[in-house]
Structure 1
Amino acid sequence: MTAPTVYLASVGTCLPGDPVDNTTLAKLVGVDESWADLFIGNTGRHFAVDLATGQVRHTLADIAATAADRALAEAALEPYDIDCVVMGTATPDQLMPATVNLVADRLGIDNVPTYQLQSGCAGAVQALDVARTLLLAGRCRTVLVIGGDVCAKHLETDFDPGSRTSAELVNYVLFGDGAGAAVLSAEPVGGDGIEIRQVLNRLVGLGREPGQVIDWFGLGDRHSDRTAVSEDYKAIEETVPALAQQMFWELLEDLGWAADDVDFLLPPQLSGRMSDRISAEMPAPDARRINVVRHVGNNGNALPFLQLAELLRQWEGPGRAVAVAVESSKWIKSGIALERS
């Protein structure tokens, strides 16, 4: 009997609005443009919120539905072809209803299982893991997987730029908004199948302080002096490269691959500067690196899908690809291995 297989059928993405470069950002929130270039390394990002007015222009459900619709179109599938929807996000539009259900409703998907995973950068990989598990178990034939975040809603727009420290202003430079989606199937679509050979997720935060905290303010503490988003940037810089290498080798050991077998490497996407550094330190020196964060900002669970979309644009012929994501909130390392015959 042939072992069950899971294929990546298509990828769709959505970035809200026009890109905001560092010059524009410096005028809006008062960050130093040269500091943004040198310290963070991001040159652009997209915001679902108008920072000049505070107006919310796009919800997570808006951009997630657009990304999902594009993934379905790319796979030449209709909403009724989907057997299950799985979504990963750290910034749902509301606590209830789950954003995944709002997206499914917009797409016209009904009477199927839906799952929403509350997670940071590893959430997209966790969602892919859930989908792959369901497909391997024979419970589904086609699964829509979504990942995305709207981080800008946690950023203040009504403040005196001179009153903010660098630790607070870094969030405006580092983060962006976006969504991505992928269709996973039990059979290759279009005869050119990219097989998802393995997906791994490991919580490695035992005894470690969180590297990032995103608060959810209720009515009672909405006017608290606490910032909604905070991170230990030094801890992230020190920890993420090591966790990325650990996951890379765990994937290869699990599959019996050598580092030289990897043709494409999709490293963790934290910031332009940090991702370049991680890429340089990762194994498989001859593998082509797929980095996108410098131009789109750190949009959390959208990033793995943006990387996959870029991978598909560059990937021609047989080969192997490894993608690694690390979540710093409570330290999760995750990864995906893909192969095209």
Structure 2
Amino acid sequence: MTHPCITAVGTALPGPAVDNDHLAKTLGVNREWVDLFIGTKTRHFAVDLTTGEQHSTLTDLAEEAAATAMRRAGARPQDIDFVVLATASPDELMPATVNKVADRLGLDQIPTYQLQSGCAGAIQALDLGRLLLQRPENRTGLVIGGDVCAKHLRLDRDFTRLPSHELVNYVLFGDGAGAVVLTGQEDAEGMAVHTVLNQFAGRGQPAGQVIRWFGAAESTDGVAPAEEDYKAIERRVPHLADEILWQLLETTGWTPEDLAYVLPPQLSGRMTRRITEHLQLPGAQEISCVADTGNNGNALPFFQLERLAERIRPGERALAICVESSKWLKGGFAVEGR
């Protein structure tokens, strides 16, 4: 059986890194709370925290990440047969961000797809790309994921009065984009994608995270733009991550001892440590980035893949695990170096 192959990865982060000192001073919150409760050291924003000016868009970051992936793969615009982009925060409702990115990359007369989801959208995009390569006319595609939280990053609030389920979003998240070149060519070098898991697991469960989209006709008085049930996330995510691990192992026929690397969920530095310990894979090297990049949603799996691509050798195997808490989605994939 021929597996599609990730031949190159590209990523993009906006602006300089924002450390916990800078963030704590900007928000007027306790730095030790950020260090201990979140466990993330730095993140990047598409907004200048001093002026409130947005200096990067999702289109900007997605174009940069995709162009980097194409350059590393040696792929020209005419080599790309489709583009898939996953995001929870498009620049506009229309035109779709994926089409603006395709235009900037010089792509034309090809199918484009935009998926609306949280961090699991990156897995859905990879799954769709894998399926599109089964069409005989498709040889190579671009799969992109990214998020920019500028629409909800209000800096004129009294953060000392915000409830924790709102405040956590200001210290947890960051911005970024990532992309891979995916091909169905049998002789391609890179990381072969053996399987992708994409499952809804939230039947009867309240949402763990809500991000609202306000329109001009809606009254938003007293309604938080974003909120998160962090206790529910802490309780459910480690168990869902364990389920994903064993589902992927069962599908591939691999054993825990076969794994050289594991890419755990990247909610925050603190949660990632807890989840990795819960998975009990001492023989697998952890590939994580959230402590440095912040939680940048659909970009995160691509940042992990970029780090993995630098290390994985032919024949080595890795599993990636992703849990989206919005309405509880399980995602993941299995790759092997070749």
Equivalent position of 1:131 in the other structure? 129
Q: Which amino acid aligns with 1:230?
A: E
How far apart, in 1, do the equivalents of 2:159 and 2:143 lie? 39
How far apart, in 2, do the equivalents of 1:188 and 1:176 lie? 37
Equivalent position of 2:172 in the other structure? 174
How far apart, in 1, do the equivalents of 2:271 and 2:295 lie? 11
Equivalent position of 2:185 in the other structure? 187
Give the alignment partner of residue 142 of structure 1, picking from 140, 143, 151. Answer: 140
SS in 1 for 2:50: coil
Q: After superposition, give the CA deviation of every residue in 1:131-151 in whole Å (9 maximum; x if it has no partner).
A: 001113434110100000002
Q: Unaligned stretches of 5+ in structure 2? A: none
How far apart, in 2, do the equivalents of 1:77 and 1:117 lie? 24
Give the alignment partner of residue 265 of structure 2, picking from 268, 272, 278. Answer: 268
Q: Percent identity?
A: 54
Equivalent position of 1:218 in the other structure? 215
How far apart, in 2, do the equivalents of 1:290 and 1:279 lie? 10
SS in 2 for 1:226: coil
Within the alignment, does 1:292 sit opposite 2:295 as a pair? no
- Pick closer, same or farther for the CA change 1:239–1:113 going to 2, 3 Å: same
Correspondences of 1:60-209 after superposition (within 5 Å): 60-187=58-185, 192-209=189-206
| Cα deviation, residue 309, structure 1 | 0.3
Q: Which amino acid aligns with 1:227?
A: A
CA contact (8 A) 2:87 2:146 kept: yes
Q: Which amino acid aligns with 1:59?
A: T
SS in 2 for 1:221: coil
CA contact (8 A) 2:190 2:337 kept: yes
Give the alignment partner of residue 51 of structure 1, picking from 28, 49, 53. Answer: 49
CA contact (8 A) 1:245 1:283 kept: no
Q: After superposition, give the CA deviation of every residue in 1:231-271 in whole Å (9 maximum; x if it has no partner).
A: 11011111111111111111110111111001100000000
CA contact (8 A) 1:64 1:181 kept: yes
- Pick closer, same or farther for the CA change 1:157–1:188 going to 2, 3 Å: farther
How far apart, in 2, do the equivalents of 1:67 and 1:23 lie? 28
How far apart, in 2, do the equivalents of 1:230 and 1:167 lie? 5
SS in 2 for 1:61: helix
TM-score (norm 2): 0.97
Q: After superposition, give the CA deviation of every residue in 1:247-304 in whole Å (9 maximum; x if it has no partner).
A: 1111110111111001100000000000011011114221000111011100000000
Equivalent position of 1:238 in the other structure? 235
How far apart, in 2, do the equivalents of 1:227 and 1:167 lie? 10
Equivalent position of 1:336 in the other structure? 333
CA contact (8 A) 1:4 1:136 kept: no
SS in 2 for 1:325: strand
CA contact (8 A) 1:64 1:180 kept: yes
SS in 2 for 1:257: coil
Equivalent position of 2:319 in the other structure? 322
How far apart, in 2, do the equivalents of 1:98 and 1:295 lie? 29
Give the alignment partner of residue 24 of structure 1, picking from 15, 22, 25. Answer: 22
How far apart, in 2, do the equivalents of 1:159 and 1:33 lie? 18
| Cα deviation, residue 64, structure 1 | 0.5
How far apart, in 1, do the equivalents of 2:22 and 2:319 lie? 35
- Pick closer, same or farther for the CA change 1:222–1:62 going to 2, 3 Å: farther
Aligned length: 338
Q: Which amino acid aligns with 1:83?
A: D
Equivalent position of 2:226 in the other structure? 229
SS in 2 for 1:101: helix
Within the alignment, does 1:280 sit opposite 2:277 as a pair? yes
Q: Which amino acid aligns with 1:310?
A: R
Q: Which amino acid aligns with 1:157?
A: L
Equivalent position of 2:31 in the other structure? 33
